[in-house]
Structure formats: structure tokens, C-alpha cells
Amino acid sequence: MTETFPFFKQRSIQILFAIYAISIPYWAWIQVTGQINTPHNYIWSLIVLGILPVIGGIFGIILSRKWGFLKASLGRAIFFLSAGVMAWGIGSVIWAYYNLVLGVEVPYPSFGDVGYLMSYPFYALGLINLGKGMGAYHKLKTRLGKVALVLVPVLGMAVTYFIFISIARGGEFDYQDSSLLKILFDIGYPLGDATVVTAIGLIYGLSYKVFGGKFKWPINLLFAGQLLLYFGDFFFSYGTTQGTYYIGNLNDLLFVHALFLIAVGVNALNIPGISSRVRDELVMFAPRATEAVNNLVLEIIRRQSHIIGTVAWEEATKVPGLTIDVKNNKLSVDGDPKIVLEQLVGRYEGLFGNASLEICREAARKMVSQLPPEQIPAILK
């Protein structure tokens, strides 16, 4: 399994798997013994709906530093997605506090709902930044992208209204006896779900042909988790409307799988061996290159660094024939320019597939005319 999914070797993911593995037989025992609204229900919920996503979020925020933190698109994506899953977990911890410590029924809305609701804008910001790394941003410039930008949000809102209002609530949306705060939460939840499912539809729909590389599986897990969370919210809304929901039921197990996949997907966006310390000397590095090929290499690295942060420079240092001298502020192509460019682009393509390749090609379009044809690799043509 570690050969197919190398991210299973990561300590953070192993910890998440351990918590998940313990929770499943515990949940099965709760169901078999008919536990409803007992301390076991609340403890199980605290562990897998509270502690697991909080730990996953903390690991993810730490990981975001490897990708430039808030300075690069992927760093921001990992940070906000981690903040989203962490906010959801904090909401569950507060929920468990009402049950285990105060011993009272959880009010609605409660402080726990603040955590749940805050997860949606974090998820949305994370998905938007992730879309840039997957190539969706470039596709938005096309005619198809512009049409999708109009139609997908409309479709997302329509589907969410049908599922969450027409089905889950039986078409009733009565606010006559509700407080303003309750109204805001009642609107905020389906609106947040609609925003997230719309973002996923746009990103995946526009980038599925170009998206690839070693991070394809982690991002697919992340998307699967988000979709499970969407349907988990639907079943929760339906269950509370029908009066059939209780803590630790099948719906909560769906939430567990959703949060687990999101946390694993985010933390799997890791490259072993790269220090989490942001290397400012690489971020600020601006070599005084005069040769056309050096300028092209620099432009490709810079374009990639906007998406993946200092990882772009780290990957460049692994290319044979390319010398990056931070101390003397120099960059030079010492090997065959064609081979160096091909290997440099190949390293980025290995991360996110054709999405990274398109960024390299876009960087090269304005500069390839300055290079002799024999120095331009086919991958950039």
C-alpha cells in the first residue's frame, strides 16, 4: 500500500489512521449494544468528530509552511482547508462539552455551530487557491470556463435548495418564530454547502483533463471528503427535521469518513525531505541572469513559486546542470539547456501533471523566441 500511496508513510497520516481505526469498532459496539445518548456516544463523537479533525487541521497548518504558507497558492490552499477541518472539529469539541460536562441538550444555535459554520468560508478559500494549482484558473479564461462560471453556481444553488429545503425540510422554511441569529445559521448552512459543492464542480470540471502528477490521489481524496460532508449535512438536516438523529448514528459515521478523507487528503500534499522552514533566501532570490535560457528558467521557477511557494526552488535545485548559487545571487544553466529545461519542467509536471505543465508553457511563450530552436524542448512547444 505504501508503494501505491506513499503518503501512508507520513507520521501525521499514520496518527490519523490510528484514531480512525480505533473509532470504527467502537462505533460498531455502540450500535450493537443499542447505545443512544449515553456517555459512549458522546465520547466516540468527541474522539472522531472533534479530536481527529483538530489534529488533522494542526498537522495541515504546519504542512502549509512547506508550500509558502500564505505567500503561495498551494500554501494558502492547505492552510485554509486545514483551518476548515479544524474549525469543524472545534465545533464538535464544544458540542461534546455540552453533553459530557454540562450534561444538557445542545442548544441551536450554539457556540459549536460557530465552528461548523466557520468551516465553510475556510473550505471555499482553500478550494479556490487549490484550483489555481490544478489549472482551473487558466481554464476560466476560455469560453467554456466563462460559461461554467455562470452555470455551475446556478446549478449548485438549485441542487442544494432541492436537497436541503425541498427534501430535508419538506419544503418548509418558516422563520416566523425564529430569532435573527437562528435565521442566519439556517441560511448559512445550506449556503455554505452550496458554495463548497459549486467550487468543487468548477475546479474539477475545468481541470480534470490537465490535472495529474503525484498529488492527484490526495486531492481526489480531499474532494471525495468534501462531497461526503455535503451529503452528511443533508442527512443531518433530514434527521433533525424527522427527529431521528442521535449522536453516534450512521449519519455521524458518514461525517467521520468525510473529515478523515479531508484531513488525510490535505496532509498527503507533502514532499518528504523539504524543510518546513520557509527559506527566505530562495523566496527573495533574484539572480542577475543575462542569458535568455537563464531568464527562461528563472521565469518558470517564479511562475511555479506563485503556486507552490519555495517548493518550486527546492525542486529546481534537484535538476542536474542547473546551478542556483544563493550566496552569490546567481543562477546559471551549466548543462545542455534543452535537457535542463526538459528536466525542470518534468519535476513540476510530476507534482500536478498537465496543470503544472501549462504554467511552464505559459511562462515560456513570451521568451522562447529569444532562444535558438535547438535549445527548446518539445515539452515547451
Q: Are strands 330-333 and 322-325 parallel, antiparallel or unpaired?
A: antiparallel
Backbone angles phi and psi of 331, in degrees to 5 = -130, 135
Print pLDDT tens along the chain (381 aa): 444 555 667 889 999 999 999 999 999 999 999 999 999 999 999 999 999 999 999 999 999 988 888 888 889 999 999 999 999 999 999 999 999 999 888 888 899 999 999 999 999 999 988 887 776 766 777 788 788 888 888 998 999 988 888 888 777 766 666 778 888 888 889 999 999 999 888 888 777 666 777 788 888 899 999 999 999 999 999 998 888 999 999 999 999 999 999 999 999 988 765 554 444 444 444 444 346 788 888 888 888 888 888 888 888 888 988 888 766 667 888 888 888 888 998 998 888 888 888 888 888 887 777 777 777 888 887
Confidence at residue 267, expressed as pLDDT on a 0 to 100 scale: 93
Instruction: Please report where in the chains the cell 464542480 appears, as a residue.
Output: 201
Confidence at residue 5, expressed as pLDDT on a 0 to 100 scale: 55
Q: 143 CB contacts (<8 Å, ≥6 apart)? A: none
Alpha-carbon radius of gyration of the chain: 24
d(CA 132, CA 80) in angstroms, rounded, equals 14
Would you state the cell numbers that stand for residue 65, as one nine-digit string?
Answer: 509552511
List 324's β-bridge partners, or say none: 331
SS3 label, residue 184: helix
d(CA 14, CA 65) in angstroms, rounded, equals 20
Chain centroid offset of residue 265 CA: 7
SS3 label, residue 317: coil
Delimit the domains of the chain by residue range.
Answer: 9-273, 277-378
d(CA 348, CA 294) in angstroms, rounded, equals 17
Confidence at residue 358, expressed as pLDDT on a 0 to 100 scale: 83
* Helix, strand, coil percent content, the chain, rounded in steps of 5: 75, 5, 25
Q: CB of 320 within 8 A of CB of 278?
A: no
